[in-house]
Amino acid sequence: VLRLAGGKLLCDCWGESMSGGVGGGSLGAGLPYHKFVSFALEETRLRTTLTPHPSQEKFKSIKPNDDNTVFNALSFSAPKIRLLRSLTIEKKNSFQVLDFAAFSEPEYDLPIFCANVFTTPTQSIVVLDLNPLYDTTVHKDYKDKYYRSIMPLVHKYNELLPWGGKITSESLKFFSPIVIWTIFESTEHNHHVWLELMDQAIKENNKATVARNQEEQHKYLTWRAEKDPGYPLLKKLIGESCAEDLVMEFLFEGVNTLGTKSFLDYFPEYARDDGSVSKKRSMIGKSFETRPWDTNGEFIGDAEAQR
């Protein structure tokens, strides 16, 4: 168990193996989103072999100071998958978090599987998406490759899970035209689309393309490791340095190894006069009151973004 004692990280890991079957108590039965996580892992195991990721040992059970809060962290890799990781957090009578993501090896340009839910007693903030590795408003070929055939999914879920309203504008370039961004009551949801894409993914041998894939994944990790909306709450729960470890070495593992560019190299608009990174979450603010893609996935939100 990884716990905070007097501000220091102590590691005494659980003896239980996490690499065996799914659904055991070690997965956090009874925890929020346990069903989602075990379903996702079960479905993934039908297609591939998951191997525990090195980051799992350190983070598989983080014990915050607050006795009412429970963390559960799992991470794996597999052929084609560099990192598949899941973090659930529950604070009794307060909130529940699911942050589930899967990143491919840079030899593939697969979108990033992203299931993210923050639930309080009154609402759930939900982002479910195959986050594009390449901005789909710029890279039409990428958009056609991965999203053209699955655009009908939007019709299927749009009515039940309507657009959540204004959102941090910078997030849009990390979202795909099929993104489900919603704020609502109920919580559970899942589908197989990413696993099907993974099955079909063909390994890229061109070094320049692999390097480009790697840089785009690094850019995504760099954004989220710095600006994820969950970061401030994580700091509150487990302290600044523990939260930083979790973000850098678990949630967005790879941010320190996949590339050398800095946050400001990717997002220069966040530079302050003294060369440091602006603490602001967003430079543009919130916009996109309504879904900014049409049914063909064409981006139609430009005018609104300017407001």
List contacts with ligand BLA (CB under 6 A).
Answer: 87, 89, 97, 99, 114, 116, 118, 125, 127, 131, 167-168, 171, 174, 224, 229-230, 233-234, 286
Q: Which two tokens stand for residue 15?
A: 């003896």
User: Quick one: 19 or 190, whose CB is closer to ligand BLA?
Assistant: 190
Closest CB to ligand BLA among 219 and 224? 224
Find the shortest distance in angstroms from Cβ 85 to ligand BLA. 11
Beta carbon nearer to ligand BLA, 76 or 250 = 250
Nearer to ligand BLA, 203 or 280 (CB): 280
Q: Which two structure tokens, joined as six digits, stand for 235? A: 């700091």
Give min distance, CB of 222 to ligand BLA, in A: 12
Task: State how far the Cα of 246 lies from the Cα of 71, in Å rounded to an integer.
Answer: 11
Instruction: State how far the Cα of 175 lies from the Cα of 157, in Å rounded to an integer.
Output: 16
Between residues 49 and 146, which has the closer beta carbon with respect to ligand BLA?
Answer: 146
Looking at the Cβ atoms of 87 and 178, the one nearer to ligand BLA is 87
Closer residue to ligand BLA, CB minimum distance, 48 or 95? 95
Least distance in Å: CB of 207 to ligand BLA? 27
CB 45, min distance to ligand BLA, A: 24
Residue with smaller CB distance to ligand BLA, 158 or 168: 168
Instruction: Output the smallest distance, CB 271 to ligand BLA, in A.
Output: 20
Q: How far is the CB of 191 from ligand BLA (least distance, A)?
A: 17
CB of 156 to ligand BLA, least distance (A): 21
CA distances from 158 to 130, 181, 295 (A): 16, 10, 10
Least CB distance to ligand BLA at residue 268 (A) = 19
Q: What is the DSSP string of the chain?
A: -EEEETTEEEE---SS-SSS-SSSGGGTTTSTTHHHHHHHHHHHHHHS--EE-HHHHHHSSEE-SSTTEEEEEEEEEETTEEEEEEEEEEETTTEEEEEEEEEE-TTS-PPEEEEEEEE-SS-EEEEEEEE-SS-TTT-HHHHHHHTGGGTHHHHHHHTTS-----EEGGGGGGS-TT-EEEEES------SHHHHHHHH------HHHHHHHHHHHHHHHHHHHHH-TTHHHHHHHH-HHHHHHHIIIIITTTTTTS----HHHH-GGGB-TTSPBP--S-SS-EE-SS--B-TT--B--HHHHH-
